Amino acid sequence: MKAKQKTSLIGVIVGIVIIIIGFSVMNPETYLLGERDALGSLVYEYGADFYTDIYYLTYQVGHQVQQGYVNICNAIGWLIICLGAIDICYFLVKTVEAAVPEIGKAQTEKQDELPDL
């Protein structure tokens, strides 16, 4: 194999590794905030309704922040996967051009010619 083919093949392998990293970033482990019963209401109740309501609101805020964290991790994961796919496509084309030199020559000849008007 030529040096150009080897570097292109390494680029494809790096793209595959980038995609694997993207999938590993997605869906991070999170912990449950508070305990709930079968109906979905909070198990913790206090003597005064004010404290129970404050605890419930704090639980809701924490849950929303946690969901935002999960959404950001998923978006970053998809971005990394897209970058890996672009990397694979780019280096796969370079690998094919290095393996079959006629393809690369045909493309450069087409670029050199001016279109007829």
Helix segments in the chain, DSSP class H: 3-25, 49-99, 101-112
Q: Are 77 and 22 in contact (CB under 8 A)?
A: yes
Q: Is residue 117 part of a domain?
A: no
pLDDT digits (tens, 9 = 90+) for 64-102: 888 898 899 999 999 999 999 999 999 888 888 877 777
Q: Which domain holds residue 57?
A: 3-112
| Alpha carbons 38 and 109: distance in angstroms, whole number | 71
Q: How is residue 33 annotated by DSSP?
A: -
Q: How many domains does the chain have?
A: 1
Q: Note the pLDDT tens digit of each residue in 27-44.
A: 777 666 555 555 556 556
